[in-house]
Amino acid sequence: MTAGSLSKWWVVARREWQVAFQTPLAYVLLALWMLISGFMYVGLLVSSQSSDLSSLVQNMTVLILFMAPFLTMRLLAEERRTGSEELILTSPISAGQWVVGKYIGALLVWSVFVGVSLLFPLVTSRLGQVDWGVIAASWGGLWLFGAATLAVGLFASSLTDNQLIAAMLSFVIILLFYIASWVQTGGWVATLLSYIDLPDQLTSFSVGSVAVTPLVFFLSLIGGFLFLSVRSVDLRRWT
């Protein structure tokens, strides 16, 4: 990748970062993220009086089901609705650079959410002993979980010019990955559904182990949906 192509997607990413925090939505979502996570955290302390935050991380993934669609719904849908997509797609920037830039911008915003939530283990460390290795793996898994759902949301946003439809479609796709293992079946189908189940893939991270299989799964999910997003944009570019 040349310096020119790097600069192009970075310009898009920086613009997305700036736009995200120029509107109230990011601040409202961040406030809700910390408020609801805070209730979960206090509930964990009261019920178990334990410094083990693995269950908190698992519970926070439920919030991502709702956060990711709202963080990504406008990324491509809004550009398509306003007609600016056509101008961008006729410029020297490639569909891949544009999509990756959009994704990186959303990922930077998500990184703020994850970074702020580190307040919980910091508070816990003042109340008792904390295994920072487990915390690093758990929050790294949480970040990857969110990164994968953002890629899904970006793809959903590439399919429509309506932000609400993009958010709903994103939610449904993420939910299917979230409850995949709930389907009662057997054989290779059960194995496949268990593999694509998002919470199951997070389990090893939440206990402090960074295994190869879940890491490959999350990265493959991100790469796959980014590829689909680029193809979706390219399809409109040549039609």
Q: Residue 116 belongs to what domain range?
A: 3-237
Amino acid at 179: I
- Return the residue matching tokens 């970075």: 10
CA separation for the pair 94, 144 (Å, rounded): 26
pTM value? Answer: 0.89
Question: Are the C-beta atoms of 70 and 149 separated by less than 8 Å?
Answer: no
Domain count, the chain: 1
Question: Are the C-beta atoms of 139 and 117 separated by less than 8 Å?
Answer: yes
One digit per residue, the tens of pLDDT, for the chain of length 239 reads 444 555 778 888 888 888 888 889 899 999 999 999 999 998 888 776 555 688 888 889 999 999 999 999 999 988 888 777 676 767 778 888 889 999 999 999 999 999 999 999 998 888 777 888 888 989 999 999 999 999 999 999 999 989 999 999 999 999 988 877 666 565 655 566 666 778 888 887 877 777 788 899 999 999 999 999 999 988 876 66
